[in-house]
Structure 1
Amino acid sequence: MAADRGRHQASSRGRGRRRSRQKERRGRIRALAAVLVPAALIGVVVIAAPRWAGGDDPSAAAAAPEPSDARPGPAPARTSPSPAAKPKGKPKPATVSPSPSPSVTAMPPRIPASGPGTFTVARAGTSSGGGNAYRVEVEDGSGVDPDTAAALIADVLAAPRGWAHGGARSFHQVAEGPAGMVVRIATPATTDRICGADGLNTHGEVNCRVGEKVMVNLKRWQTGSPEFHGPLDEYRALIINHEVGHWLGHGHETCPGKGRPAPAMMQQIYGLKGCVANAWPYDAAGQYLGGPSVP
């Protein structure tokens, strides 16, 4: 019996030691788990964070300056973003701001309604030769440079489709001395006053010819006409060709037929009557672009 009791006690002590060692192992496993699990969570956060912004730090992106477009260069290379979860529902379409239209951003020039009635003479030298001498004058305070205007007028008067007509007539600009024609760019009020002295009512809107004076209304010179579809310089050519045509002795004409060029001697600002806007008295082949006379 004593021997059996000894063996039983030894067996009990063995089982106790095994249970103690098992408890120690479970304690070590729990301790190791307590260390590893937070570390694993931190690793998940560190790995997942760059995927949130496609590899960019959002605070750095917000502080980065907008790229300058002063000197355009090659576009920067783009990296493919990490795949993201599909959004729920239909995505909203991107809103694109349209580029501003030139007609919206461009401001029309300021047109003074009246001026002092004094004029600055354009310098000579923009044209040469004999023929009809003319002078260009611009009302002070109009905002128009006399020499720039004179250069355009010289080009119109010398153009093959203009009254020069391939050398049939010639014009040359002078700054002083006698001039058979004076082209004046004047404010609406001054134009009305000078034209009105000859019984012509220009209503602050249109041009006229009085004796040797070709009066160009500043409003028309700077803004063109709603009836004329073309560049402003082309409409300025029509002004010069129409009023110089009067100086040469031509009267008003009207539309010769639907779809045909409107005569330069037609008052196109009042409507084209089926014709197409045209600034020149002759076509490229030298044919006169006329129409029925207006009484």
Structure 2
Amino acid sequence: MRVGRLLSVVGLAVVALGGGVGLAHYQSQRTDTAAAATRTTAPETDAPTPEKTTAKPTPTKTVKPTPTKTVKPPPKKTEVPLSGPGTFTTAQASGAVVGTGGTLRRYRVQVEDGVDVSAHQAAQEIQAILAHPRGWAAHGRGRFQLVSSNADFVIRIATPATADKLCLANGMDTHGELNCETTSGVVVNLKRWMTGSPTFAGPPSEYRHLIINHEVGHEIGLRTHMSCPGPGKPAPVMMQQIKGLHGCVSNAYPYTEGGSYITGPLVS
């Protein structure tokens, strides 16, 4: 009987102990659950990833090359000697008679020594001027022939100082600028032959026609100068165009292309 009660007590103790263990285990679970509930992990918030900005390539500026201006060198100034030795070289040349009628006049060409003009080339150029279709010979105002000797008159190309001396000997003051006609022939100022005239619109090569036509005009008997016939009209070759055009247009030929004589009022 006592043994049975003892077993009963022991059994109760075991049951009680087991219940305590179970309670303790239950409470421990509750505590862990509460702690877990308390430890609420904040949801991870993903920070917005900044958008990558694709860098646009900087456009390359196309640099247009600056055009290089072509600078034309100024025309070379023709150097004209102001004086010379006063001696001349005669062109050793001869030519056929040119002209349709009138008195035959033989001429020779001389160029002052030491200047940059060939006597032979000058003679050829003067021969072509006197044979020009708009010249004196082509319209019956005389016939001309280039010779190297036995000439009726001489055409001399001289430096300004020498030209002044030759012209002054015949009573004309040419001031280092002008041409003249003397008792022995024509004196051409080298400056005018090489550079032309400031009042003449054409090049020196054309102005030489005016020089020869004007001075040879005196040789064939046209002793009096002319003036401008009217504004805009061609100036007569017997007008002293270098002294001013007075409304006329510069002109190097005695006749128009149609064959009309270019004239104007006589200067008294």
Same fold (TM over 0.5): yes
| Counterpart-to-counterpart distance in 1, 2:184 and 2:96 | 20
Name the structure 2 match of 1:160.
Answer: 133
Q: Which has the higher contact order (CA 8 A, sep 6+)?
A: 2
| Counterpart-to-counterpart distance in 2, 1:98 and 1:187 | 40
SS of alignment partner, residue 287 of structure 1: coil
Name the structure 2 match of 1:225.
Answer: 197
Report if the CA contact (8 A) 2:229-2:248 is conserved.
Answer: yes
SS of alignment partner, residue 164 of structure 2: helix
SS of alignment partner, residue 156 of structure 2: strand
Report if the CA contact (8 A) 2:96-2:145 is conserved.
Answer: yes
Pick aligned residue for 2:148 from 163, 175, 179 = 175
Report if the CA contact (8 A) 1:128-1:173 is conserved.
Answer: yes
The Cα RMSD (Å) is 1.9
Name the structure 1 match of 2:165.
Answer: 193
Name the structure 2 match of 1:29.
Answer: none
For residue 196 of structure 1, what is the amino acid of its counterpart? L
Report if the CA contact (8 A) 1:134-1:174 is conserved.
Answer: yes
Structure 1 unpaired stretches of 5+: 1-82
Matched, 1:108 2:81: no
Matched, 1:119 2:93: no
Name the structure 1 match of 2:97.
Answer: 129
Report if the CA contact (8 A) 1:165-1:282 is conserved.
Answer: no
| Counterpart-to-counterpart distance in 2, 1:84 and 1:219 | 66
SS of alignment partner, residue 133 of structure 1: strand
| Counterpart-to-counterpart distance in 2, 1:293 and 1:168 | 19
Shift of the alpha carbon at 1:167?
Answer: 4.5
| Counterpart-to-counterpart distance in 2, 1:84 and 1:122 | 77
1:200-215 pair list within 5 angstroms = 200-215=172-187
Name the structure 1 match of 2:211.
Answer: 239
Structure 2 unpaired stretches of 5+: 1-56, 99-103
| Counterpart-to-counterpart distance in 2, 1:223 and 1:84 | 61
Pick aligned residue for 1:97 from 63, 68, 71 = 68
| Counterpart-to-counterpart distance in 2, 1:249 and 1:167 | 14
Name the structure 2 match of 1:139.
Answer: 112
For residue 259 of structure 2, what is the amino acid of its counterpart? G
Shift in alpha-carbon separation, 1:221–1:95, aligned structure 2, 3 A: same
| Counterpart-to-counterpart distance in 1, 2:96 and 2:67 | 55
Shift in alpha-carbon separation, 1:141–1:92, aligned structure 2, 3 A: same
Pick aligned residue for 2:236 from 239, 263, 268 = 263
SS of alignment partner, residue 235 of structure 1: helix
Report if the CA contact (8 A) 2:225-2:239 is conserved.
Answer: yes
Report if the CA contact (8 A) 1:212-1:247 is conserved.
Answer: no
TM-score by length of 1: 0.66
Name the structure 2 match of 1:86.
Answer: 60
SS of alignment partner, residue 89 of structure 2: strand
Query: Share of identical aligned residues, percent?
Result: 51
For residue 180 of structure 1, what is the amino acid of its counterpart? D
Report if the CA contact (8 A) 1:163-1:281 is conserved.
Answer: yes
Give the count of matched residue pairs.
206
Name the structure 1 match of 2:42.
Answer: none
Shift of the alpha carbon at 1:176?
Answer: 1.5
Shift of the alpha carbon at 1:92?
Answer: 7.1
Report if the CA contact (8 A) 1:262-1:289 is conserved.
Answer: yes
Report if the CA contact (8 A) 1:115-1:189 is conserved.
Answer: yes
